[in-house]
Amino acid sequence: MTTPWLAPVAPGAVHATVDVPGSKSITNRALILACLASGPSVLRAPLRSRDTLLMAEALRCLGAEISDGPDGEWLVTPRTPRGPATVDCGLAGTVLRFLPPLACLAEGEVTFDGDPQARERPLHQVLDALRTLGGEIDGNSLPFTVHGGGGIGGGEVTIDASASSQFVSGLLLSAPAFRNGVTVRHEGAAMPSLPHVAMTVRMLREHGVRVDDSQPDTWSVFPGEVRSLERTVEPDLSNAAPFLAAAAVTGGRVTVPGWPTETTQAGDAMRGILARMGAETLLDERGLTVTGPRTLSPVDLDLHEVGELTPTVAALAALAEGTSRLRGIAHLRGHETDRLAALCRELGNIGVRAEETEDGLVITPGEPHGGQWRAYADHRMATAGAVLGLRVPDVTVDDIATTSKTLPDFPRMWSRMLETVR
Protein backbone atom coordinates (compact mmCIF):
# COMPACT_ATOMS: atom_id res chain seq x y z
CA MET A 1 0.00 0.00 0.00
CA THR A 2 1.15 3.52 -0.76
CA THR A 3 1.39 6.24 1.88
CA PRO A 4 0.33 9.71 0.60
CA TRP A 5 2.07 12.60 2.32
CA LEU A 6 1.38 16.34 2.09
CA ALA A 7 4.83 17.89 1.80
CA PRO A 8 5.12 20.63 4.45
CA VAL A 9 5.81 24.21 3.33
CA ALA A 10 8.63 26.05 5.08
CA PRO A 11 7.22 29.38 6.31
CA GLY A 12 10.75 30.73 6.70
CA ALA A 13 14.40 29.75 6.66
CA VAL A 14 15.43 26.42 8.20
CA HIS A 15 18.34 26.46 10.65
CA ALA A 16 19.00 22.83 11.50
CA THR A 17 21.61 20.23 12.28
CA VAL A 18 20.64 16.94 10.64
CA ASP A 19 22.33 13.66 11.60
CA VAL A 20 22.21 11.45 8.51
CA PRO A 21 22.46 7.64 8.89
CA GLY A 22 25.23 5.58 7.32
CA SER A 23 25.91 5.11 3.63
CA LYS A 24 23.90 2.42 1.86
CA SER A 25 26.65 1.89 -0.71
CA ILE A 26 29.32 1.38 1.94
CA THR A 27 27.09 -0.74 4.19
CA ASN A 28 26.18 -3.25 1.47
CA ARG A 29 29.73 -3.52 0.14
CA ALA A 30 31.03 -3.97 3.68
CA LEU A 31 28.54 -6.76 4.38
CA ILE A 32 29.69 -8.75 1.35
CA LEU A 33 33.38 -8.29 2.14
CA ALA A 34 32.80 -9.27 5.78
CA CYS A 35 31.08 -12.47 4.61
CA LEU A 36 34.12 -13.34 2.48
CA ALA A 37 36.63 -12.48 5.21
CA SER A 38 38.88 -14.91 7.06
CA GLY A 39 37.34 -14.10 10.44
CA PRO A 40 34.61 -12.09 12.18
CA SER A 41 34.14 -8.40 11.36
CA VAL A 42 32.36 -5.52 13.06
CA LEU A 43 30.34 -2.96 11.09
CA ARG A 44 29.67 0.15 13.17
CA ALA A 45 26.92 2.69 12.39
CA PRO A 46 25.56 0.71 9.43
CA LEU A 47 22.53 1.95 7.58
CA ARG A 48 19.45 -0.03 8.48
CA SER A 49 17.00 0.44 5.65
CA ARG A 50 15.10 -1.79 3.27
CA ASP A 51 18.08 -2.19 0.90
CA THR A 52 20.59 -3.07 3.60
CA LEU A 53 18.20 -5.32 5.50
CA LEU A 54 17.55 -7.20 2.26
CA MET A 55 21.31 -7.60 1.78
CA ALA A 56 21.83 -8.83 5.35
CA GLU A 57 18.97 -11.32 5.11
CA ALA A 58 20.20 -12.62 1.75
CA LEU A 59 23.66 -13.23 3.20
CA ARG A 60 22.12 -15.00 6.18
CA CYS A 61 20.21 -17.25 3.75
CA LEU A 62 23.57 -18.13 2.20
CA GLY A 63 24.93 -19.15 5.61
CA ALA A 64 26.58 -16.07 7.14
CA GLU A 65 25.92 -15.07 10.75
CA ILE A 66 24.94 -11.40 11.05
CA SER A 67 23.84 -10.34 14.53
CA ASP A 68 23.14 -7.07 16.31
CA GLY A 69 25.72 -5.64 18.69
CA PRO A 70 24.93 -3.64 21.84
CA ASP A 71 25.57 -0.26 20.18
CA GLY A 72 23.69 -0.87 16.95
CA GLU A 73 26.62 -2.41 15.10
CA TRP A 74 26.44 -5.57 13.01
CA LEU A 75 28.65 -8.48 14.03
CA VAL A 76 29.44 -10.59 10.95
CA THR A 77 30.81 -14.13 11.12
CA PRO A 78 31.53 -15.60 7.68
CA ARG A 79 30.51 -19.12 6.75
CA THR A 80 31.03 -21.06 3.52
CA PRO A 81 28.14 -20.01 1.24
CA ARG A 82 25.56 -22.73 0.71
CA GLY A 83 22.26 -23.44 -0.95
CA PRO A 84 19.50 -24.08 -1.51
CA ALA A 85 18.57 -20.47 -0.82
CA THR A 86 16.16 -17.84 -2.06
CA VAL A 87 17.26 -14.20 -2.32
CA ASP A 88 14.71 -11.39 -2.24
CA CYS A 89 16.31 -8.46 -4.08
CA GLY A 90 13.40 -6.07 -3.47
CA LEU A 91 14.26 -3.07 -5.63
CA ALA A 92 17.89 -2.96 -4.47
CA GLY A 93 20.37 -2.77 -7.32
CA THR A 94 23.20 -3.68 -4.97
CA VAL A 95 21.51 -6.95 -3.99
CA LEU A 96 20.47 -7.69 -7.56
CA ARG A 97 23.96 -7.16 -9.02
CA PHE A 98 26.38 -7.81 -6.16
CA LEU A 99 25.08 -11.17 -4.90
CA PRO A 100 25.02 -13.41 -8.04
CA PRO A 101 28.86 -13.58 -8.09
CA LEU A 102 28.90 -14.61 -4.44
CA ALA A 103 26.12 -17.14 -5.10
CA CYS A 104 28.44 -18.83 -7.63
CA LEU A 105 30.65 -19.72 -4.63
CA ALA A 106 27.83 -21.57 -2.88
CA GLU A 107 27.16 -25.30 -2.92
CA GLY A 108 23.64 -25.68 -4.30
CA GLU A 109 20.99 -23.63 -6.06
CA VAL A 110 20.35 -19.98 -5.24
CA THR A 111 17.15 -18.46 -6.64
CA PHE A 112 16.77 -14.69 -7.05
CA ASP A 113 13.57 -12.65 -7.33
CA GLY A 114 12.36 -9.20 -6.26
CA ASP A 115 9.85 -6.42 -6.75
CA PRO A 116 8.05 -6.16 -10.10
CA GLN A 117 10.02 -3.00 -10.95
CA ALA A 118 13.29 -4.85 -10.35
CA ARG A 119 12.46 -7.23 -13.17
CA GLU A 120 12.91 -4.30 -15.56
CA ARG A 121 16.36 -3.26 -14.30
CA PRO A 122 19.38 -4.08 -16.50
CA LEU A 123 21.10 -7.25 -15.30
CA HIS A 124 22.16 -9.59 -18.10
CA GLN A 125 25.64 -8.02 -18.31
CA VAL A 126 26.51 -9.44 -14.88
CA LEU A 127 24.96 -12.85 -15.55
CA ASP A 128 26.62 -13.19 -18.96
CA ALA A 129 29.96 -12.21 -17.42
CA LEU A 130 29.58 -14.87 -14.74
CA ARG A 131 28.86 -17.50 -17.40
CA THR A 132 32.06 -16.45 -19.16
CA LEU A 133 33.95 -16.85 -15.88
CA GLY A 134 32.58 -20.34 -15.27
CA GLY A 135 29.23 -19.82 -13.55
CA GLU A 136 26.07 -21.78 -14.36
CA ILE A 137 22.94 -19.61 -14.39
CA ASP A 138 19.40 -20.07 -15.71
CA GLY A 139 17.75 -16.84 -16.89
CA ASN A 140 18.80 -13.33 -17.85
CA SER A 141 16.56 -11.28 -15.56
CA LEU A 142 14.54 -11.76 -12.41
CA PRO A 143 13.63 -14.43 -11.52
CA PHE A 144 16.82 -16.43 -12.21
CA THR A 145 18.73 -19.29 -10.59
CA VAL A 146 22.45 -19.67 -9.91
CA HIS A 147 23.61 -23.28 -9.78
CA GLY A 148 26.44 -22.89 -7.32
CA GLY A 149 29.28 -25.36 -7.60
CA GLY A 150 31.23 -24.32 -4.53
CA GLY A 151 33.53 -22.05 -6.51
CA ILE A 152 34.17 -20.37 -9.82
CA GLY A 153 37.28 -20.18 -11.97
CA GLY A 154 37.29 -16.47 -12.73
CA GLY A 155 39.68 -15.00 -15.26
CA GLU A 156 39.19 -12.22 -17.78
CA VAL A 157 35.90 -10.80 -19.02
CA THR A 158 34.82 -7.82 -21.11
CA ILE A 159 31.46 -6.16 -20.43
CA ASP A 160 29.50 -3.08 -21.41
CA ALA A 161 28.90 -1.25 -18.11
CA SER A 162 27.55 1.93 -19.71
CA ALA A 163 24.17 1.31 -18.04
CA SER A 164 25.52 0.89 -14.49
CA SER A 165 28.83 0.85 -12.64
CA GLN A 166 27.28 -1.80 -10.38
CA PHE A 167 28.03 -4.39 -13.07
CA VAL A 168 31.75 -3.84 -12.44
CA SER A 169 31.54 -3.53 -8.65
CA GLY A 170 29.49 -6.71 -8.36
CA LEU A 171 32.16 -8.75 -10.15
CA LEU A 172 35.04 -7.18 -8.22
CA LEU A 173 33.64 -7.66 -4.71
CA SER A 174 33.60 -11.47 -4.76
CA ALA A 175 36.63 -11.86 -7.04
CA PRO A 176 39.19 -12.51 -4.24
CA ALA A 177 37.41 -15.85 -3.70
CA PHE A 178 37.49 -16.80 -7.40
CA ARG A 179 40.22 -19.36 -8.08
CA ASN A 180 41.94 -17.08 -10.60
CA GLY A 181 40.59 -13.72 -9.43
CA VAL A 182 39.12 -11.56 -12.16
CA THR A 183 40.06 -8.91 -14.70
CA VAL A 184 37.09 -6.83 -15.84
CA ARG A 185 37.32 -4.64 -18.92
CA HIS A 186 34.64 -2.13 -19.81
CA GLU A 187 33.96 -1.53 -23.49
CA GLY A 188 31.19 0.80 -24.61
CA ALA A 189 29.99 4.31 -23.92
CA ALA A 190 31.44 6.09 -20.91
CA MET A 191 30.59 4.27 -17.70
CA PRO A 192 28.49 6.26 -15.22
CA SER A 193 29.07 6.67 -11.50
CA LEU A 194 32.80 5.96 -11.47
CA PRO A 195 33.08 7.10 -7.82
CA HIS A 196 31.18 3.94 -6.87
CA VAL A 197 33.80 1.73 -8.54
CA ALA A 198 36.51 3.74 -6.77
CA MET A 199 34.65 3.01 -3.52
CA THR A 200 34.67 -0.72 -4.28
CA VAL A 201 38.41 -0.70 -5.06
CA ARG A 202 39.22 1.28 -1.94
CA MET A 203 37.22 -1.05 0.31
CA LEU A 204 38.80 -4.16 -1.23
CA ARG A 205 42.24 -2.73 -0.51
CA GLU A 206 41.24 -1.91 3.07
CA HIS A 207 40.50 -5.62 3.48
CA GLY A 208 43.99 -6.47 2.23
CA VAL A 209 42.96 -7.47 -1.30
CA ARG A 210 45.35 -6.71 -4.15
CA VAL A 211 43.69 -4.64 -6.90
CA ASP A 212 45.24 -3.20 -10.05
CA ASP A 213 43.26 -0.31 -11.56
CA SER A 214 46.20 1.39 -13.28
CA GLN A 215 44.73 0.98 -16.78
CA PRO A 216 41.66 2.96 -17.89
CA ASP A 217 38.41 0.96 -17.82
CA THR A 218 40.22 -2.15 -16.54
CA TRP A 219 40.22 -3.61 -13.03
CA SER A 220 42.08 -6.69 -11.85
CA VAL A 221 41.39 -8.32 -8.48
CA PHE A 222 43.84 -11.01 -7.44
CA PRO A 223 42.78 -14.12 -5.52
CA GLY A 224 43.66 -14.23 -1.86
CA GLU A 225 42.60 -13.67 1.71
CA VAL A 226 40.02 -11.04 2.60
CA ARG A 227 41.05 -9.73 6.02
CA SER A 228 38.42 -9.12 8.66
CA LEU A 229 38.21 -5.64 10.15
CA GLU A 230 36.18 -3.19 12.19
CA ARG A 231 34.64 -0.48 10.03
CA THR A 232 32.65 2.65 10.88
CA VAL A 233 30.29 3.63 8.07
CA GLU A 234 30.30 7.25 6.86
CA PRO A 235 27.00 9.18 6.71
CA ASP A 236 25.18 8.67 3.42
CA LEU A 237 26.03 11.86 1.54
CA SER A 238 23.44 11.30 -1.18
CA ASN A 239 20.74 10.90 1.46
CA ALA A 240 21.96 14.19 2.95
CA ALA A 241 21.30 16.00 -0.34
CA PRO A 242 17.60 16.82 0.23
CA PHE A 243 18.35 18.30 3.66
CA LEU A 244 21.14 20.47 2.24
CA ALA A 245 18.77 21.45 -0.57
CA ALA A 246 16.31 22.61 2.10
CA ALA A 247 18.84 25.23 3.21
CA ALA A 248 19.30 26.33 -0.39
CA VAL A 249 15.61 26.75 -1.24
CA THR A 250 14.63 28.47 2.03
CA GLY A 251 17.66 30.75 2.41
CA GLY A 252 18.49 28.95 5.63
CA ARG A 253 21.37 26.97 7.07
CA VAL A 254 21.76 23.20 7.50
CA THR A 255 24.71 21.34 8.99
CA VAL A 256 25.31 17.62 8.43
CA PRO A 257 27.76 16.38 11.12
CA GLY A 258 30.42 13.82 10.30
CA TRP A 259 30.85 14.84 6.66
CA PRO A 260 34.16 13.20 5.66
CA THR A 261 37.06 15.33 4.44
CA GLU A 262 37.97 12.55 2.01
CA THR A 263 35.47 10.15 0.48
CA THR A 264 34.56 8.15 -2.60
CA GLN A 265 30.84 8.81 -2.13
CA ALA A 266 29.14 10.47 -5.10
CA GLY A 267 27.04 12.61 -2.75
CA ASP A 268 30.09 14.73 -1.91
CA ALA A 269 29.50 16.47 -5.25
CA MET A 270 26.55 18.32 -3.67
CA ARG A 271 29.05 20.78 -2.21
CA GLY A 272 30.12 22.01 -5.63
CA ILE A 273 26.63 21.85 -7.14
CA LEU A 274 25.12 23.98 -4.38
CA ALA A 275 27.98 26.46 -4.63
CA ARG A 276 27.31 26.87 -8.35
CA MET A 277 23.67 27.56 -7.56
CA GLY A 278 24.67 30.38 -5.22
CA ALA A 279 24.82 28.71 -1.80
CA GLU A 280 27.72 29.00 0.61
CA THR A 281 29.35 25.77 1.78
CA LEU A 282 31.72 25.26 4.69
CA LEU A 283 33.39 21.96 5.62
CA ASP A 284 35.00 22.05 9.06
CA GLU A 285 35.18 20.06 12.28
CA ARG A 286 31.41 20.40 12.75
CA GLY A 287 30.63 18.79 9.38
CA LEU A 288 29.29 20.35 6.18
CA THR A 289 27.24 23.52 6.53
CA VAL A 290 25.22 24.93 3.63
CA THR A 291 23.80 28.46 3.74
CA GLY A 292 21.19 29.25 1.13
CA PRO A 293 21.23 32.27 -1.21
CA ARG A 294 18.49 34.83 -1.80
CA THR A 295 17.79 33.24 -5.17
CA LEU A 296 19.01 30.04 -6.79
CA SER A 297 21.10 30.39 -9.95
CA PRO A 298 20.40 28.12 -12.93
CA VAL A 299 23.12 25.63 -13.86
CA ASP A 300 24.47 23.61 -16.75
CA LEU A 301 25.77 20.39 -15.20
CA ASP A 302 27.20 17.09 -16.36
CA LEU A 303 25.95 14.63 -13.73
CA HIS A 304 27.24 11.49 -15.43
CA GLU A 305 29.34 10.37 -12.47
CA VAL A 306 26.83 11.46 -9.80
CA GLY A 307 23.51 10.62 -11.42
CA GLU A 308 21.85 9.63 -8.15
CA LEU A 309 21.77 13.33 -7.23
CA THR A 310 19.66 14.22 -10.29
CA PRO A 311 16.19 14.23 -8.66
CA THR A 312 17.36 16.61 -5.91
CA VAL A 313 19.19 18.84 -8.40
CA ALA A 314 16.13 18.85 -10.67
CA ALA A 315 13.98 20.04 -7.75
CA LEU A 316 16.47 22.86 -7.09
CA ALA A 317 16.51 23.77 -10.80
CA ALA A 318 12.72 24.00 -10.79
CA LEU A 319 13.00 26.76 -8.16
CA ALA A 320 15.94 28.61 -9.76
CA GLU A 321 15.92 31.91 -11.63
CA GLY A 322 16.31 30.63 -15.18
CA THR A 323 16.71 27.55 -17.35
CA SER A 324 18.98 24.70 -16.20
CA ARG A 325 20.45 21.84 -18.22
CA LEU A 326 21.33 18.49 -16.66
CA ARG A 327 23.46 16.29 -18.94
CA GLY A 328 25.20 12.91 -19.03
CA ILE A 329 22.41 10.98 -17.32
CA ALA A 330 20.83 8.80 -19.99
CA HIS A 331 21.59 5.80 -17.74
CA LEU A 332 18.95 7.00 -15.27
CA ARG A 333 16.33 5.50 -17.55
CA GLY A 334 17.33 2.13 -16.06
CA HIS A 335 17.17 3.03 -12.35
CA GLU A 336 14.34 2.28 -9.90
CA THR A 337 12.14 3.93 -12.52
CA ASP A 338 12.91 5.83 -15.72
CA ARG A 339 13.94 8.87 -13.71
CA LEU A 340 14.17 11.22 -16.69
CA ALA A 341 10.64 10.48 -17.88
CA ALA A 342 9.34 10.53 -14.31
CA LEU A 343 10.89 13.93 -13.56
CA CYS A 344 9.49 15.40 -16.78
CA ARG A 345 5.99 14.18 -15.98
CA GLU A 346 5.94 15.23 -12.35
CA LEU A 347 7.53 18.64 -12.88
CA GLY A 348 4.99 19.26 -15.63
CA ASN A 349 2.18 18.25 -13.28
CA ILE A 350 3.07 21.11 -10.93
CA GLY A 351 3.60 23.76 -13.61
CA VAL A 352 7.36 23.50 -14.31
CA ARG A 353 8.46 23.05 -17.91
CA ALA A 354 10.81 20.08 -18.28
CA GLU A 355 12.05 18.61 -21.54
CA GLU A 356 13.77 15.27 -21.92
CA THR A 357 16.88 15.29 -24.11
CA GLU A 358 18.93 12.37 -25.41
CA ASP A 359 21.06 12.34 -22.26
CA GLY A 360 19.34 14.56 -19.74
CA LEU A 361 16.83 17.28 -18.93
CA VAL A 362 16.19 20.95 -19.65
CA ILE A 363 14.22 22.57 -16.81
CA THR A 364 12.60 25.99 -17.07
CA PRO A 365 10.85 27.26 -13.92
CA GLY A 366 7.37 28.61 -14.43
CA GLU A 367 4.66 29.30 -11.89
CA PRO A 368 4.68 26.08 -9.88
CA HIS A 369 1.48 25.02 -8.17
CA GLY A 370 0.32 22.21 -5.93
CA GLY A 371 -0.65 18.76 -7.09
CA GLN A 372 0.21 15.11 -6.80
CA TRP A 373 3.87 14.16 -7.06
CA ARG A 374 4.25 10.49 -7.94
CA ALA A 375 7.24 8.65 -6.54
CA TYR A 376 7.14 5.57 -8.82
CA ALA A 377 8.46 3.43 -5.91
CA ASP A 378 11.66 5.50 -6.19
CA HIS A 379 13.05 6.92 -2.95
CA ARG A 380 14.86 9.81 -4.64
CA MET A 381 11.75 10.86 -6.54
CA ALA A 382 9.91 10.98 -3.22
CA THR A 383 12.50 13.20 -1.53
CA ALA A 384 12.61 15.50 -4.57
CA GLY A 385 8.90 16.08 -4.04
CA ALA A 386 9.60 17.01 -0.43
CA VAL A 387 12.16 19.63 -1.52
CA LEU A 388 9.69 21.22 -3.94
CA GLY A 389 7.00 21.20 -1.26
CA LEU A 390 9.08 23.53 0.91
CA ARG A 391 8.29 26.34 -1.53
CA VAL A 392 5.20 25.10 -3.37
CA PRO A 393 2.04 24.64 -1.27
CA ASP A 394 -0.12 21.54 -1.60
CA VAL A 395 2.40 19.16 -3.15
CA THR A 396 1.35 15.63 -2.17
CA VAL A 397 3.90 12.84 -2.54
CA ASP A 398 1.84 9.77 -3.37
CA ASP A 399 4.08 7.29 -1.53
CA ILE A 400 6.49 8.68 1.03
CA ALA A 401 6.98 5.17 2.46
CA THR A 402 9.23 4.36 -0.51
CA THR A 403 11.96 6.41 1.25
CA SER A 404 12.39 3.38 3.54
CA LYS A 405 14.59 1.93 0.78
CA THR A 406 17.53 3.97 2.10
CA LEU A 407 16.16 6.39 4.73
CA PRO A 408 13.33 4.80 6.74
CA ASP A 409 12.91 7.72 9.13
CA PHE A 410 12.70 10.40 6.44
CA PRO A 411 9.26 11.93 7.26
CA ARG A 412 10.17 12.40 10.93
CA MET A 413 13.62 13.79 10.09
CA TRP A 414 12.02 16.26 7.65
CA SER A 415 9.47 17.39 10.21
CA ARG A 416 12.13 17.87 12.89
CA MET A 417 14.21 19.95 10.49
CA LEU A 418 11.23 22.21 9.84
CA GLU A 419 10.77 22.79 13.57
CA THR A 420 13.86 25.03 13.31
CA VAL A 421 12.29 27.47 10.84
CA ARG A 422 12.59 31.09 11.87
Scored b (16 or more CB within 10 A) or e, 189-218 reads eebbbbbbbbbbbebbeebebebebeeebe
Rounded to 5°, angle at Cα 192 from 188 and 196? 125
- The whole-angstrom distance between residue 344's C-alpha and the CA centroid of its chain comes to 21
Q: What is the mean pLDDT of residues 279-292?
A: 98
Instruction: Cite the active site residues.
Output: 308
At 1 the pLDDT is 65
pTM beyond cutoff 0.85: yes
pLDDT at residue 24 tops 90: yes
Dist CA 35 CA 106 (whole Å): 12
Cα–Cα distances (Å) from 120 to 116, 205, 304, in that order, read 8, 33, 21
- Span 61-87, pLDDT tens digits: 999 999 999 999 999 999 999 999 999
**pLDDT, tens digit (0-9, with 9 covering 90-100), for 88-139:** 999 999 999 999 999 999 999 999 999 998 998 889 999 999 999 999 999 9
Q: Which CATH number does 5-21+236-418 carry? A: 3.65.10.10
Residues in the chain, how many?
A: 422
Which residue ranges are tagged as binding site for 3-phosphoshikimate?
24-25, 29, 164-166, 193, 308, 335
Q: Which residues are annotated as a binding site for phosphoenolpyruvate?
A: 24, 93, 121, 166, 339, 380, 405
Whether 24-220 and 5-21+236-418 are alike in CATH topology: the answer is yes
Residue ranges of the binding site: 24-25, 29, 93, 121, 164-166, 193, 308, 335, 339, 380, 405
Domain ranges of the chain: 5-21+236-418, 24-220
Which H or E run contains 291?
A: strand 287-291
Q: 24-220: which CATH topology? A: UDP-n-acetylglucosamine1-carboxyvinyl-transferase; Chain (3.65.10)
